[in-house]
Amino acid sequence: MKHIFHAMLLCVCAPILALQTGAADPTRFAKTIDTWTALDKKNPPPENLVLFIGSSSIKMWKSLERDFPGTNVLNRGFGGSWTNDLLHYMDRIVLPYKPARIVVYCGENDIAHGEAPEVPFGNWKTFVARVRKVRPDTKFYYIPIKPNPKRWNFWPKYQQANRLIQQFCEKEGLAYLGDIPRKMLGQDGMPIPGIFAEDKLHLNAEGYKIWAREVRKALGMKE
């Protein structure tokens, strides 16, 4: 009876543990990815493009083409995505483009939903390795997980993930845009209110100006 009780307990607890620690199901983005791949077949993206990919902060970057004039940019941000989702769909919305440069913002949702800082770090390493197999000369630009009022309680864990990723970027010769989070904080060490949307999570136009300036600088573009 004791063994039966333990078995029943495991059956009850297992789904709960999976919800708390397992990555979200990537198929929730299937329609979005299908739409993009269909568009790519009709109008193939240009070669040597700059691919912007990641979660909602990339998706909502509506001024992307204006911010990077004279540059072939492609936005493949899908809101709510985790780093695991980027890996799941790489064969469809990253590797076929063979991009010259990739700007990534992702990992915030991982940690906000219970993942350890090591998870986005590990997935970032895998992401880089898989791209390099297809195009070894691709250049990478990582935008650190941002401080924001909505998820301020996660900022210590965001910083842990950022440090791990920064160390890896420095070791591998990748661009880590560390000035971005610093310029999003005021003298009091708190997020600057005027750069966020009403939800206090996403950026407004002023916030994207900070991102654009720093990414342009990293890409070697003149102001």
Residues contacting residue 156 through CB under 8 Å, at least 6 positions apart: none
The answer to whether residue 14 sits within a structural domain is no
The answer to whether residue 110 sits within a structural domain is yes
The domain spanning residue 50 has which CATH number?
3.40.50.1110
Domain residue limits at 106: 29-219
pLDDT at residue 143 tops 60: yes
- The pLDDT of residue 10: 39
The answer to whether residue 21 sits within a structural domain is no
| CA 111 to chain centroid | 12
Question: What does the mean pLDDT of the chain come to?
Answer: 91
Count: domains in the chain: 1
- The pLDDT of residue 24: 86
| Number of other residues whose CB lies within 10 A of the CB of residue 117 | 22
pLDDT at residue 117 tops 60: yes
pLDDT digit string (tens) for 26-83?
999 999 999 999 999 999 999 999 999 999 999 999 999 999 999 999 999 999 999 9
Residues contacting residue 85 through CB under 8 Å, at least 6 positions apart: 24, 26, 29, 78
Residue 123 to residue 84: CA distance in whole angstroms: 7
Is residue 119 within 8 A of residue 144, CB to CB? The reply is: no
Residues contacting residue 190 through CB under 8 Å, at least 6 positions apart: 149, 152
The answer to whether residue 4 sits within a structural domain is no
- The total number of residues shown for the chain amounts to 223
What does the angle CA 9 – CA 11 – CA 15 come to, to the nearest 5 degrees? 115
Helix/strand/coil for 54: strand
The answer to whether residue 3 sits within a structural domain is no
Q: What backbone phi and psi angles, to 5 degrees, belong to 140?
A: -115, 140
| Number of other residues whose CB lies within 10 A of the CB of residue 147 | 21
The answer to whether residue 182 sits within a structural domain is yes
The answer to whether residue 10 sits within a structural domain is no
Is residue 106 within 8 A of residue 54, CB to CB? The reply is: yes
The token pair that represents 101 in the structure block: 């440069």
22 vs 114, more confident: 114
The answer to whether residue 177 sits within a structural domain is yes
- The pLDDT of residue 23: 74
R_g of the chain, CA atoms, integer Å? 19
DSSP state of 191: B
Helix/strand/coil for 52: strand
- The pLDDT of residue 3: 43
| Confidence band, pLDDT 50/70/90 cuts, at residue 212 | very high
Mean pLDDT across 106-132 = 98
| Number of other residues whose CB lies within 10 A of the CB of residue 72 | 15
Give this prediction's pTM.
0.89
